[in-house]
Structure 1
Amino acid sequence: MAKQLHALAQKVWDYHKLDHTLIKSDCIFVLCSNDVRVAEYAAQLYLDGYAPFIVFSGGVGELTLGMFKGSEAEHFAQIAADLGVPESKILVEPQSTNTGENIQFTQALLENERLDPQHFILVQKPFMERRTYATFMRQWPNKQCIVTSPAISFDEYPNDVISYSDLINVMLGDLQRIRVYPDFEYAIEQSIPDDVWLAFQSLVDIGFTEHLLSDG
């Protein structure tokens, strides 16, 4: 059972990852969360010269309530600064509570700063690459983007913040949203292979339902 469970979860994980090739861009756009490894990775991208500035976007979500002193974006920005990113090259959007708001509020922030980047590097958790891409392309279709995440495998990802079970639950919630959100014009449509959806259904049948939409 454990081997089968792992194979099903690995299939869903692999689908979520897009494996885009990094290229130099106009802006590193970090969608913040409870995973500070994303902040560390984004800081390294800046230090490696992939873009001239970073935007950290994220308020306080369900998973980060009480976790950080301030918002997700403020906490991530401090990590980046501590790692050597100049504060003058960091912008912070501390109000958004979901992926759509990450994009909409960052649009407003950049407009207010009179910045108009055309190509973005979106930085996310590995299992949120695909939904981030689909949401960005719907919300900001006149821009270009690639999505990247820390080089962490499915087996390496769980830690003291997110358990193996939590990870599967969140991955399934994201996969369900990839399927249904285009109907609400929240995201562009993404093809889901039959074997990936069968893996989703099998894991739901096992009991991984905590992050599914209530009407799903």
Structure 2
Amino acid sequence: MNNKIINDITNYIFVEDKPEKVDIIFMPGSSDPTIPEKASQLYKDGYSPLLLPSGGVSVKSSKFGGVKIKQDLYNKDYQSDCEFYSDVLIKNGVPKSSILYEDKSGHTRDNAFFSRIVTDENKLSIKTAIVCCKSFHARRCLMLYQLAFPEAKILIVPVDCYGISRDNWFKQEYGIDRTLGELARCGNQFVGDIKKYLSI
């Protein structure tokens, strides 16, 4: 594939910001503990007083997908992404009082908009936020959390998961499938939003 095409896709999908102090850290759910581990470190480094893990069960299987790595450390019978992430946060030194919970969502759009419901219910005014997510998931997370929190500055602090990074996604079939899948979703999942924005 043409290097310019690879570079353009990479720069679009693999969004990354330098962390800054924010009001809250959001975590769209998955089965990989490296995301809440990263969020725990951001918390301990003083970047945010609050964390909000989000995720219920898979819309495909109707259950939690199971811990992908470090099963010896995170070995409870988790019922949701949120429960799993919360346990990882606590085991990595985050107090329960700093964790909010959203355990009903089944996909990324719901992660963002259900998290908005949680912050509103807690009467929180979110002006700045970090989204900690899979690196190949970064652009779609940014778009959806911006839609859910249009008044906020959203930063992306990603984690490389499943062996996929901005430097190697195009060198392996799995990385190509996941990354180009995200590229497609960043178009087809936002058609209604764009038309609404443009009043079409």
Match of 1:109 in 2: 118
Segments of structure 1 that go 5 or more residues without pairing to the other structure are 159-163, 190-216
Match of 1:35 in 2: 32
Shift of 1:79: 0.5
Match of 1:100 in 2: 109
Shift of 1:97: 1.0
The separation in 1 between residues aligned to 2:153 and 2:101, in whole angstroms, is 21
1:131 partner amino acid: R
Shift of 1:14: 4.5
Number of matched residues?
A: 181
Shift of 1:16: 1.1
1:31 partner amino acid: P
Match of 1:210 in 2: none
1:24 partner amino acid: K
The separation in 2 between residues aligned to 1:167 and 1:95, in whole angstroms, is 28
Identity, % of aligned positions:
25
Kindly indicate whether residue 133 of structure 2 is the aligned counterpart of residue 136 of structure 1: no
Shift of 1:10: 7.6
Kindly indicate whether residue 188 of structure 2 is the aligned counterpart of residue 180 of structure 1: yes
The separation in 2 between residues aligned to 1:133 and 1:27, in whole angstroms, is 15
Match of 1:169 in 2: 177
The separation in 2 between residues aligned to 1:142 and 1:91, in whole angstroms, is 20
The separation in 2 between residues aligned to 1:103 and 1:49, in whole angstroms, is 23
Kindly indicate whether residue 38 of structure 2 is the aligned counterpart of residue 46 of structure 1: no
CA RMSD of aligned residues (A): 3.0
The separation in 1 between residues aligned to 2:114 and 2:35, in whole angstroms, is 20
Match of 1:15 in 2: 12
Mean Cα displacement is larger for which, 166-175 or 82-91?
166-175
Query: Residue 56 of structure 1 contacts residue 77 of structure 1 at CA under 8 Å; is this kept in 2?
Result: yes
Shift of 1:54: 0.3
Mean Cα displacement is larger for which, 149-158 or 9-18?
149-158
The verdict on how the C-alpha distance between 1:106 and 1:187 changes in structure 2, with shifts beyond 3 A counting, is farther
What TM-score do you get using the length of structure 2 for normalisation? 0.77
Secondary structure, aligned partner of 2:27:
strand
The verdict on how the C-alpha distance between 1:5 and 1:172 changes in structure 2, with shifts beyond 3 A counting, is same
1:67 partner amino acid: G
1:22 partner amino acid: P
Q: Map of 1:67-216 to 2, 5 A cutoff?
A: 67=66, 69-150=78-159, 154=165, 165-185=173-193
Secondary structure, aligned partner of 1:154:
coil
Query: Residue 119 of structure 2 contacts residue 125 of structure 2 at CA under 8 Å; is this kept in 1?
Result: yes
Query: Residue 32 of structure 1 contacts residue 56 of structure 1 at CA under 8 Å; is this kept in 2?
Result: yes
Query: Residue 21 of structure 2 contacts residue 47 of structure 2 at CA under 8 Å; is this kept in 1?
Result: yes
The separation in 2 between residues aligned to 1:155 and 1:183, in whole angstroms, is 26
Match of 1:201 in 2: none
The separation in 1 between residues aligned to 2:185 and 2:139, in whole angstroms, is 11
Shift of 1:139: 2.8
